């Protein structure tokens, strides 16, 4: 009996030393295999008497069962260990922060443009869009820039192939829009009707050969045009003052119309604003060019300047955006630095 117990114990020890399923199967063979120790003991039974066979056989069987139980237990333990190793190797660390795809947002100048469109829209202005590659007529000729007049040199122009140019201002939209408007109402007008007023803004990109902290070769303007039978400089003042109050969300600001010159307006004025409080208080800041539309420009619309009159303005949309958000370098708008842009979400 002690001999059998010793075999069971050594089987248990051998099994627990096995660290892989293959080790375990080898250890099993030593005890339960064809030439294993238990098998050898069973073979020895043949030489015993019937009674001895019975009791010895039963004892051997019990030991064999004990060894098989130990084997099953170890197999389960090894399988579990293996599973654990596998799980660890394939583990997903769900606590790792995900990689987010950032949400885009509108550029500050686009936000301003939308705001400007909304404000003038509420005053009954249409919004028009036009080409950035222009021809000489719309950019200069229709606007009363004489052929060889030094006024053309006021704008350092980017010329492109075929005599075309990148528009130096949004003013070419005055003629483009007005001519269409006049065409639309021509029949009614020749039957004696008065033309419905032209009231439009044209926001967009403009280009000049210029580059420093306050000038970029590409910049944004918003053109405004209001033509009717009785539209005066006083209306320009009212409209522009209202616009500034709404745009900057304050009435605590002064406007100044400073005499100036443009070939397409007469009289002409630069519009300056001055905040009465806040970080920019006390400084006059130029925001737009403006004036009463020149009779020759009205004529080029296809209208009689004796009958139709009005005003135009062109404001710097980047400038307005800088003032609204307190940005002091225009180049920040065009660098595409996400740290700057994400502040306007």
Q: Which of residues 247-266 bind ligand PHE (CB under 6 A)?
A: 262, 265
Residues 326-345 that bind ligand PHE (CB under 6 A): none
Residues 83-102 that bind ligand PHE (CB under 6 A): none
Q: How far apart are CA 195 and CA 186, in angstroms?
A: 8
Both tokens of 85, joined, read 């190793």
CB of 297 to ligand PHE, least distance (A): 9
Q: HSE, CB side, 13 Å, CA atoms: give it for residue 122.
A: 10
**Of 36 and 204, CB closest to ligand PHE:** 204
Span of 97-105, 130-138, 158-166, 285-293 interacting with ligand PHE by CB under 6 A: 285-293
Tokens in use for 270? Answer: 């630069």
Q: How far is CA 24 from the centre of its chain?
A: 62
Which residues within the stretch 300-319 sit at the binding site for ligand PHE (CB under 6 A)?
A: 312-314
Residue number with the shortest CB distance to ligand PHE?
314
Question: Could you say whether residue 171 binds ligand PHE (CB under 6 A)?
Answer: yes
281 vs 1: CA distance, rounded Å = 108
Q: Which is nearer to ligand PHE, 4 or 312 (CB)?
A: 312
172 binds ligand PHE (CB under 6 A): no
| Contact between 31 and ligand PHE per CB under 6 A | no
Task: Return all residues near 213 (Cβ < 8 A) that are at least 6 apart.
Answer: 328, 329, 330, 331
- 153 contacts: CB under 8 Å, gap ≥ 6: none
The answer to the question of residue 169 lying near ligand PHE (CB under 6 A) is yes
| Helix residue ranges, H only, the chain | 2-17, 21-32, 37-44, 50-89, 108-122, 136-139, 172-190, 233-247, 295-300, 317-325, 332-335, 338-341
Closer residue to ligand PHE, CB minimum distance, 112 or 139 = 139
Q: Which is nearer to ligand PHE, 28 or 220 (CB)?
A: 220
Closest to ligand PHE by CB, 233 vs 344, is: 233
Q: What CA–CA distance (Å, rounded) separates 131 from 97?
A: 46
208 scored as a contact of ligand PHE (CB under 6 A)? no
**d(C-alpha 341, C-alpha 106), whole Å:** 8
For ligand PHE, the closer CB: 38 or 225: 225
Q: Cβ 291 to ligand PHE, closest distance in Å?
A: 5
Q: Minimum distance between the CB of residue 171 and ligand PHE, rounded to whole angstroms? A: 4
Element (H, E) at 254: strand 253-262
Which lies closer to ligand PHE via its Cβ, residue 31 or residue 262? 262
Sites of contact with ligand PHE (CB under 6 A): 169, 171, 262, 265, 289-291, 312-314
């Amino acid at each position: 009996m002690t001999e059998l117990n010793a075999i069971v114990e050594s089987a248990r020890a051998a099994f627990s030393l096995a660290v892989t399923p293959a080790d375990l199967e080898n250890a099993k063979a030593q005890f339960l295999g064809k030439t294993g120790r238990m098998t050898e003991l069973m073979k020895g039974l043949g030489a015993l008497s019937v009674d001895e066979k019975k009791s010895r056989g039963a004892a051997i069987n019990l030991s064999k069962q004990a060894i098989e139980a130990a084997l099953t237990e170890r197999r389960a333990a090894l399988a579990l260990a293996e599973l654990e190793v596998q799980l660890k190797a394939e583990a997903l660390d769900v606590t790792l922060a995900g990689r987010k795809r950032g949400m885009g947002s509108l550029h500050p100048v686009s936000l301003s443009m939308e705001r400007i469109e909304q404000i003038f829209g509420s005053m009954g202005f249409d919004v028009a869009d036009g080409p950035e590659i222009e021809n000489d007529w719309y950019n200069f000729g229709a606007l009363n820039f004489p052929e060889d007049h030094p006024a053309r040199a006021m704008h350092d122009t980017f010329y492109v192939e075929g005599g075309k140019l990148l528009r130096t201002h949004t003013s070419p939209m005055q003629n483009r829009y007005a001519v269409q408007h006049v065409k639309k109402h021509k029949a009614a007008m020749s039957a004696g009707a008065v033309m419905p007023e032209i009231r439009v803004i044209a926001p967009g990109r403009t280009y000049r050969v210029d580059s420093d902290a306050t000038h970029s070769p590409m910049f944004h303007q918003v053109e405004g045009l209001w033509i009717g039978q009785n539209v005066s400089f006083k209306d320009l003042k009212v409209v522009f003052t209202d616009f500034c109050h709404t745009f900057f969300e304050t009435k605590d600001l002064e406007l100044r119309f400073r005499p100036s010159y443009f070939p397409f307006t007469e009289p002409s004025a630069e519009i300056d604003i001055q905040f009465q409080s806040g970080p920019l208080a006390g400084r006059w800041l130029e925001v737009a060019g403006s004036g009463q539309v020149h009779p020759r420009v009205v004529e080029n619309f296809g209208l009689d300047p004796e009958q139709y009159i009005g005003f135009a303005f062109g404001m710097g949309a980047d400038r307005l955006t800088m003032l609204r958000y307190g940005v002091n370098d225009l180049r920040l708008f065009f660098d595409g630095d996400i740290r700057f842009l994400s502040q306007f979400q």
